[in-house]
Amino acid sequence: MSTTIALLGQPNSGKSTLFNALTGLRQHVGNWPGKTVEKKEGTFTLGGVTYKVADLPGSYSMSANSDEEVVTRDFIASGQADVVCILADSSQLERSLFMLADYAGISAPCFLVLNMEDVAKEQGKKIDPDAIEKKLGIPVMMFSATDTKAYEKFYAVLERALKNKSQLNVSALENEYEKVEGYSKIKSQLDDGVISGYTPMWLTVKFMENDKVVSAKLKNALPDEKLKKIEETAGGQNGAIAMGECKFKWIDGILSGAVSSSSPGVQLGKLDRIFTHRIWGKPAVVLTVILGLIASFIPALPFMGIGSAIPMLKGPVTASLSGAGCPEIVISVLCDVVIQSLGYIVQMLGFVFGVTFVFGLLEEAGVMARISYVFDNTMGKLGLQGKSVMPFLVSFGCTMGGAGGARVIDNWGQKVLTIALAWAVPCGAAWSIVPMLAATFFGAWSVAVIVAILLTMLLHMWLTAKIFGRRLVKEEERCGMIMELPPYHKPKWGALLRYVLGRTKDTFFRVTKVVMLVCAIFWLLSYAPEGSNSILYNIGIAIEPVTKVFGLPWQLFLAFVASMVGKEGSVGVISALYTGGSYGAAFNAAMSGAGAAPDLTEILLANVARPEALAFIFAITFNLPCVVALAATYQEIHSAKWTAKIALYYTAVSLVLAFIAYRVGMLIW
């Protein structure tokens, strides 16, 4: 004759340590019948009595959310266990006693082991097991399963529980349940023993929690009339929340006066007090981002110096190649396409490096999570999910990555809206071109231009959400997130630098291909023998009356069109149209007063007015990101109609923004 002990507890409550210590090598491991859940059994002998120990699968509760939980409760309800040893983690009793609360209502005798006593002591917690025992009506002990000397105490408590057949006192818990609407009505329909091993209280709670297994069993066990009555009363999701609240209140009641802790109360750090402030939170976050963008100019400076020095190579290269008898067209391609583009690319890389470094640093330090938190409520109101944060963040690098990132959003409308808004986030290519152009035209005021772009981005996203959100996301689908903010970290400089250098390198190869290709195409189209006009010039002059409305000379308008292929492409176009060697006559005709300048910066400054430059910067920043992002969007949302709608909307908005920027620029300069 043997006595069976079932070990019940949440994962990491120390169940396996106790099982191994009790049974040693006398263990058998198999599977529960019909399940892939591991079954561990073992034996030990004490005072001539053989004890059989069943190590039940670690599960959070006694609900039917997993096979482990179903196996656990079926075993206990089957009456195979003479006593159930419930383990709880002493270091987090508020959480780990949930299993005990969920067990309440099962009639098998039990006792409670408050394991990990040593950890609780280290945390400064003082637990009074006698006070808890008085409230629960079952034996309760402090324990440390890793301490071999503590097992005598365990055996004594085990014998006491077996001798007294100790039952959990559930009256206080039932008092809580009775306060919930519908509980008493459902319970009154259930007779004792309606399902063997479970009390009507336990079955009522599970039914109210929408436990499918219990509901199915009741369906078979109850007459139709009773079943109809309880189904009418069931509270759906609210029932589960209400039952959970009752259990937590009961746990708090048990721990009240029995547990004391020396740990300080909840306190926010100084920075978090600012970031999470109702009034100052948003301004603080916006200021952080602006300061970050300003700081990103610092690492960009050396790159700018090198980039602007590269076109100086044109002189020596031209001289040496001319001396070697090289054809003029080859020299022109090398100098006006290759060297010129390379100079621009190096300058652009500086900003990619700077922006990636600063934003990577903010993410590493945990500040980016605070930024998401501060704007989460606003995002919820706009119909977005917290998941949208990641696509937006990735879009600072690559809109295509952002569109791909929206794949984790299940709701189609929210996914489309997220991608539509991610397009408004200036990508890595925009961050490489825009600061460079802004620095060229506006010097120290370029920071103000960047800030204006950032604010416009936020306004654009808000407006876009308002326009598209109504059709894509229903009011009832709009809600905020629950967020757990990470602690502030010291950045891992090695990992951060690897990321920044990796992205800079990747941008260099990607940008070089696009810039060189587009620059070469536009250079060829703009190439014309002396005394005649190029194809591009003729087209440009024809469309200029329209493009001028948006503040864009035809050269910049063509660069704007090229930016739809890839933002980097616009640099290639500018480079080709404003510096093309054989393009001189047509160029000079188009640009009255254009002087022969040694590099592109000077040519741009001589031929493009500041309002036009401002219009161009806004036009390319908020234009559709690139054709590949367009394809990625279609791939994610599977709607040609919505893809086209978003693309047309962005093209129109970018031109409207250019129009406004031009007019604002005219007022200033």
Binding site for another protein (CB under 8 A): 60-61, 63, 65, 92, 94-95, 98, 209, 237, 240-241, 244, 248, 265-266, 268, 272, 276, 360, 363-366, 368-369, 372-373, 385-387, 389-391, 393-394, 397-398, 400-401, 404-405, 407-408, 428, 479, 481-486, 489, 495-496, 498-499, 502-503, 505-507, 509-510, 628, 632
State the nearest-atom distance from the C-beta of 641 to another protein, in Å: 24
State the nearest-atom distance from the C-beta of 453 to another protein, in Å: 21
Q: CB 412: neighbour CB atoms within 10 A?
A: 15
157 or 398: whose CB is closer to another protein?
A: 398
153 or 407: whose CB is closer to another protein?
A: 407
Structure tokens at 1: 């004759």
Which run of H or E residues covers position 452? helix 446-472
251 or 647: whose CB is closer to another protein?
A: 251
What backbone phi and psi angles, to 5 degrees, belong to 36?
A: -95, 15
Q: Which of 469, 263, 301 is nearest to 381 (CA)?
A: 469
CA distance to 82, 86, 115, per residue, from 162 (Å): 7, 14, 20
81 or 345: whose CB is closer to another protein?
A: 345
State the nearest-atom distance from the C-beta of 275 to another protein, in Å: 10
Q: Which of 166, 141, 12 is nearest to 83 (CA)?
A: 166
58 or 553: whose CB is closer to another protein?
A: 58
State the nearest-atom distance from the C-beta of 72 to another protein, in Å: 14
State the nearest-atom distance from the C-beta of 491 to another protein, in Å: 9
187 or 206: whose CB is closer to another protein?
A: 206
State the nearest-atom distance from the C-beta of 373 to another protein, in Å: 8
Strands 125-127 and 140-142: what pairing? unpaired
36 or 237: whose CB is closer to another protein?
A: 237
CA distance to 106, 124, 585, 588, per residue, from 596 (Å): 93, 79, 11, 9
State the nearest-atom distance from the C-beta of 543 to another protein, in Å: 32
State the nearest-atom distance from the C-beta of 389 to another protein, in Å: 7
The Cα–Cα gap between 98 and 62 comes to 10
State the nearest-atom distance from the C-beta of 77 to another protein, in Å: 20
CA distance to 30, 64, 194, per residue, from 190 (Å): 36, 20, 7
State the nearest-atom distance from the C-beta of 337 to another protein, in Å: 24
State the nearest-atom distance from the C-beta of 608 to another protein, in Å: 31
221 or 240: whose CB is closer to another protein?
A: 240
Q: Report whether 168 contacts 251 (CB < 8 A).
A: no
327 or 486: whose CB is closer to another protein?
A: 486
Please state at what angle helix 212-221 crosses helix 224-233, rounded to 10 degrees: 150
281 or 350: whose CB is closer to another protein?
A: 281
State the nearest-atom distance from the C-beta of 616 to another protein, in Å: 26
Q: Which residues pair with 7 in a beta bridge?
A: 55, 85
Residue with tokens 């007063």: 593
44 or 248: whose CB is closer to another protein?
A: 248
The Cα–Cα gap between 412 and 417 comes to 9
Classified as helix, coil or strand, 617 is helix
Q: Report whether 187 contacts 200 (CB < 8 A).
A: yes
291 or 408: whose CB is closer to another protein?
A: 408
**Residues in the chain, overall count:** 669
State the nearest-atom distance from the C-beta of 390 to another protein, in Å: 5
Please provide the DSSP assignment of 573-608 as one string.
HHHHHHH-GGGHHHHHHHSTT----SSHHHHHHHHS
Q: Which of 185, 186, 206, 203 is nearest to 194 (CA)?
A: 203
Q: Which of 473, 284, 488, 464 is nearest to 375 (CA)?
A: 284
Please provide the DSSP assignment of 130-197 as one string.
HHHHHHHSS-EEE--TT-GGGHHHHHHHHHHHHHHT-----HHHHHHHHTSTTHHHHHTT--TTSSTT
Q: Report whether 371 contacts 358 (CB < 8 A).
A: no
470 or 498: whose CB is closer to another protein?
A: 498
